Structures are given as structure tokens and as C-alpha cells.
Amino acid sequence: MFPVLNNAIFQFVMKFLIALGDAAFDNLPVIFAVGVAVGLAKREKGSAALSGLLGFLVMHNILNFLLSASGKLVDTTGMESTQAKLALANAMQTKVLGIQTMDLSVFGGIIVGITVYFVHKWAVKQELPAVIGFFSGPRFVPIATMLCMSVVSVVIFFVWPIVQTGISIMSVAILKSGPVGTFLYGLLERALLPFGLHHGLNWPVRTTELGGSWIINGEHVVGTVSAYLASLADPKITAIDPTITRFNGGKFVYFMFGLSGAAYAMYKCADPEKRKIAGSLLFSAAATSFLTGITEPIEFTFLFVAPALYAVHAVLAGSALLVMHLLGAGVATPTGHGFINLVIYGVLQGDKTHWWLVFIVGIPYFFIYYFVFKFMILKFNFKTPGREDSGEVHLASKKEAREKIGVQIQQVGTDEPQEVKSSYPPIDFSKLSKEEKTHELALRLIEAHGGPSNITDVNACITRLRIDVKDKSVVDKNTITSQLEAMGFAENGMQMQSIYGAYANVLKMEIQEILGIGE
């Protein structure tokens, strides 16, 4: 497609990067096994990680043994690679880390991770008799995991074929649902977001047979992510199958354009004297959504002030998926539906993705969101940023939005945070180097969370800095959002969550280094 790129050095570098990517996408099940175990474990995460890997290996070795002993193990000796893969697929078998086993996809990794979590939670506290006391605590977890996973594997051997049949039936039903199913998926996915349940809908579709099953370049591929990447890699495919991207392509439309239109509508509806402050917040949130696909700051803002606006947003989101599906759009991304990923996974892939449809559909959706939101805000006098009765202008946090609509998610404790005055004078972070800014922010975040003695753990997800505290009443959330550049703030029990986008992980590591603590 691009003759200028056809040189040996560039091709070597790009194929090298593809090999790096394949290392992750080809091994998602084992990554889930280790990742879920580590993510759920509250302490001794190293022991949990080792047990996750060991449990995964035990499960598939036991399944291989049971398939062989029962005569169900497919013999692929003498078959060509393509024939062997199809024969395994027809028998619901596959090879994982070189082990021929039942095809559990990422469900297998999730089962292992959750099992290891419960085993780890119990085993890490056990004190064994003195003669074998060396194996107490974290050392006992892998041993207990092996025993427990052997039992779980036997259960899976008998139960999974029934589950797999059910998944196949659901997959066919989803694929046959057509454009109406695409619209309902988009509507439901946004509707589940306030409850934190949207990942339960997204990831099975992206990574398992629930999202569909295709034969691409002679290989059996399940899940929309794997199917999309396989389609990009197959030079014989000139247009991506829209059934692969039907739950994905329309998200670029409302992540990049729709929510930007909503932000502009809220800015235009702000009181003139508050418009400058509201604009700086709203346009920052809109830019984050447009570039990276991180939508929380803006979505939870209008969910908080007016659930009716969010309901309209959910309908418009479903319609965006529907329109892109009907137009035959073939653009998708593993995650993050922003401009950066559109360029990487759409534009640079050429005509086969029909990436231009994002702009053809997106620009009208900008104006649809703008006029619909502006009409509703003015008609019903919704208190969007810049229209508040108080003098404060801010974006609502996830916690505020959920409390407004009555959603409770693992809340522990009842004390409300109290305002705490910072001993640090205000500072212009733009005058500091990146390293100085990170260090200064880390110091001030430590103080804003009550100081080192009040902090029990520091972690981060993709967009959030997560700091566990002993006493949340001394946490200064106002300083965090107004002076320390957080895009939002939320609580989950004694865990304080500050939204910093991709910067969250950098701050996490700096705070850990200052406090002298590890993961």
C-alpha cells in the first residue's frame, strides 16, 4: 500500500514489533490466570503470581491427561498445520503453551485466577506443623493451588463441554441478531457502565467465542480482537468482515466526536462568568476522550447532573454502532477508541478497514450530540458545569454520580472526607521539568492522603491512582482535584482513587519509591 515503507530496515522493525504484540495476544489465557490472581490478592502478590502460572499449567496438563485416558484426544499426526488446527477446533481442543488441551480460551485463565485468589486467601495464613513449618505462609500457596486445581480440572473436564455448547448457541444468536443486536449491545454496554459491569459484556465478546468464530487464513479464530488482528495480517483479505467489528467501530464515533459535541454543548450553556473555567475542564475531558478513549470524566459528569442526558447518550451510542455496522465499517481496536488507536489500527492498515467512515459518521454525530444536549440542558435547566447554583465549577466523580442514582459498589465506612489545609504553597507545575513535576506531585499527594503513616498501599490501574488509607477523613480530595491536576476523584471503601489517565502509573511508582514500599 505504501511503497516508501518497503525497505528491509523498516520491515524488520515493524515485524519485530508485531512479534512483541503476538507475545501478548497469543498468550492471553495465561496472562489472565496470572493477572487475575495478582489483581485480586491483597498481599504476597509474588506468591499469587507464581501460583497463577502453576495452576494454569496444572489445569491444562491434567486436562491433557484426562483427554488421553478417555480416548478423546485428537490425533493430528501426519496432518498439515491448517488441517490439524481445524481438527482440533471441531473437537473443541487447542494447544496452549505446547499442551494439547480443551479450548477454554481466556475463560480458563479467569477460572484459574479466581481459584488461586481463594486458595491464596486461605493458604497464606496457614501455619503448618513444625516438621514442615518451612512451607507455611506464602510457600504453602503453590502447593495448595496444585491440589485444588487438580480437582477443578476434573470438574472442568466433565462440565466444560456443556458450557461450550451453551456459549456456541449464544454466539450464533448474537451473530444472527443483525443490526438490531448491534444497537442493543451499544445501548446495554453504556447502560452498564455506571454499575461497573460493562467489562463483563465487553471482554467475553472481545476474547471468546461469544464474540464470534471465524476461519481466517486457514485458522480457527474466536473473539473479535483476535479475529480483527488476524484479518489485518492476512493480505488476501481486502475488506474486514463487519461482523468482526460491529461491536467496536461505532465507539470511535461517540468517543471521539459525540462526547466532544456534548462537552461543547455544556460549555455553550455555561453561565458567561463561569464559561472560561468550565471550558478548561470540559475541553480537557473532551480532548482526553478524543485522543485516548478515556471517557469517565465527561460521562460521569452528565450522569451526575442529569441521568436523562446519560440515557440519551446510551441511545445515541447504540445508534452509532448500528450506523457503522450498516455502512460496513471494518475498523476496530483491542481497547481505547481514541484518535491514537484509530491511526494505528485503522488509518495505517489501509483501505480494508474503511477507517474514513469514522469521520464521515463522526462529524454529524458531533452536531447531533451538540444540539440534543444543548436543547435538553436549556429545556430542563440541568446544572451542568458552569451552571451550578454554587460558585464551584467541577466535573463529577464516579462516586458522586453513582450515589446520585443510588448505585452502591463495595462501600466501607460512613465518615465523609473533611477538608484539610495543605502545608505546601501553590505551585505552577508548568515551570517544572517532567521529573521535578512528578516528584513534587508525589510529595503533595502523599500529604493530601494524610501523610506516610496514613497510607497502607499504593497502586494504579490504566487511568487511576489508587491509594489505600487508614483514615479517609483526613484525605484532602479538594486539593487533589483543584491543585494536584487530578481529572476526578472517587472512593471505594478505604481506597482513594484519583483519575490521572496514563500518568497514574508514573505517579504510583514515584510515591512507592518515596515511601519505600513495593507492589
Q: What is the 3-state secondary structure (H, E, C) of 100-155?
A: EEECCHHHHHHHHHHHHHHHHHHHCCCCCCHHHHHHCHHHHHHHHHHHHHHHHHHH
In a domain? residue 397? yes
pLDDT tens readout for residues 249-305: 999 999 999 999 999 999 999 888 888 888 888 888 899 899 988 888 788 777 777
Cα–Cα distance measured from residue 240 to residue 224, given in angstroms and rounded to the nearest whole number: 11
Which single residue is written with the C-alpha cell 490425533? Answer: 75
The model's pLDDT over 373-396, given as tens digits with 9 standing for 90+, comes to: 999 999 999 888 888 766 555 555
What percent of the chain clears pLDDT 70, i.e. is strictly above it? 91
Q: Which residues contact 447 (CB under 8 A, 6 or more apart)?
A: 422, 423, 424, 476
Q: Is the pLDDT of residue 29 over 80?
A: yes
pLDDT of residue 203: 77
Q: What is the mean pLDDT of residues 444-472?
A: 89
Domain boundary among 138, 166, 194: 166
CA distance 326 to 344: 23
In a domain, 45, yes or no: yes
355 and 239, same structural domain? Answer: yes
Q: What is the pLDDT of residue 115?
A: 95
Confidence at 402, pLDDT banded by 50, 70, 90: low
pLDDT of residue 421: 45
Asked whether residue 424 is assigned to any structural domain, the reply reads yes
> Quick one: 210 and 160 in the same domain?
no
Do residues 225 and 371 share a domain? Answer: yes
Q: In the prediction, which pLDDT does 412 show? A: 36
Give me the pLDDT at residue 424, please.
63
User: Which of 424 and 239 is assigned the larger pLDDT?
Assistant: 239
| Nearest one of 245, 254, 208, 213 to 349, comparing CA atoms | 245
Residue 171 in any domain: the answer is no
Q: Is the pLDDT of residue 410 over 70?
A: no
Report which of residues 236 and 403 the model is more confident about. 236
pLDDT band at 426 (very low <50, low <70, confident <90, very high): confident
pLDDT over threshold 50, residue 414:
no
Per-residue confidence band for 398, with pLDDT thresholds at 50, 70 and 90? low
Q: Which residues pair with 430 in a beta bridge?
A: none
User: Up-side HSE of residue 284: CA atoms within 13 Å toward CB?
Assistant: 16
pLDDT digits (tens, 9 = 90+) for 84-132: 777 887 788 888 998 999 988 888 999 999 999 999 988 887 767 777 7
Residue 184 carries which side chain, given as an amino acid letter?
A: L
Can you give the pLDDT at residue 196?
A: 66
Is 251 a member of any domain? yes
Lowest mean pLDDT among 31-40, 335-344, 387-396: 387-396
Q: Are residues 235 and 382 in the same domain?
A: yes
Closest C-alpha among 211, 215, 204, 203 to residue 174: 211
Domain check: are 386 and 239 in the same one? yes
438 and 316 both lie in a single domain: no
The catalytic residues are 461
The answer to whether residue 238 scores a pLDDT higher than 60 is yes
Q: Tell me, what amino acid is at 267?
A: Y
Q: How confident is the model at residue 420 (pLDDT cuts 50, 70, 90)?
A: very low
Do residues 27 and 45 share a domain?
yes
Of the listed ranges 207-211, 227-231, 418-422, the least confidently predicted one is 418-422
Residues in the chain: 519
Residue 172 lies in a domain: no
What is the pTM assigned to this prediction?
0.62
Domain hosting 38: range is 3-166
pLDDT tens for 125-165 read 776 777 777 777 788 899 999 999 999 999 999 998 888 78
All three cell numbers of 123: 493458604
Boundary (domain end) residue, out of 140, 166, 192: 166
> Is 315 part of a structural domain of the chain?
yes
Q: Answer with the one of 379, 409, 439 that is the final residue of a domain.
A: 409
Name the percent of the chain lying above pLDDT 90: 37
Do 317 and 337 share a structural domain?
A: yes
Chain position carrying cell 505552577: 428
The three cell numbers of residue 336 are 481505547
Question: Which residue do the cell numbers 503513616 mark?
Answer: 453
Average pLDDT estimate for 501-512: 83
pLDDT at residue 32 is higher than 60: yes
pLDDT of 409 higher than 60: no
Q: Is 286 exposed, middle or buried (0-12, 13-18, 19+ CB in 10 A)?
A: buried
The pLDDT score that the predictor gives to residue 394 is: 53
Does residue 160 sit within a domain?
A: yes
Averaged pLDDT score across all residues of the chain = 85
Assess whether 496 and 455 both reside in one domain: yes
pLDDT of residue 363: 96
Q: How confident is the model at residue 235 (pLDDT cuts 50, 70, 90)?
A: confident
SS3 220: strand
| Same domain, residue pair 22 and 56 | yes
Gap between the Cα atoms of 63 and 261, Å rounded:
52
Neighbours of 65 (CB within 10 A): 15
Quick one: the chain helix, strand, coil %, rounded to 5? 65, 5, 25
Q: How many domains does the chain have?
A: 3
Which contacts of 92-95 are long-range, i.e. CB under 8 A and separated by 24 or more positions? Answer: 92/161, 92/164, 93/67
Weakest-pLDDT range from 50-59, 131-140, 454-463:
131-140
CATH number, domain containing residue 457 = 3.30.1360.60
pLDDT of 417 strictly over 70: no
- Are residue 194 and residue 146 in the same domain, yes or no? no
| pLDDT of amino acid 34 | 94
CA terminus-to-terminus distance, the chain:
45
What was the pLDDT predicted at 418? 39
Alpha-helix runs per DSSP H in 353-502? 357-380, 398-405, 434-448, 477-482
**355 and 233 share a domain?**
yes
DSSP sequence for 332-388? --SS--SHHHHHHHTGGG-GGG-TTHHHHHHHHHHHHHHHHHHHHHHHHT---TT--
Span 495-507, average pLDDT? 85
Cell of 84: 490439524
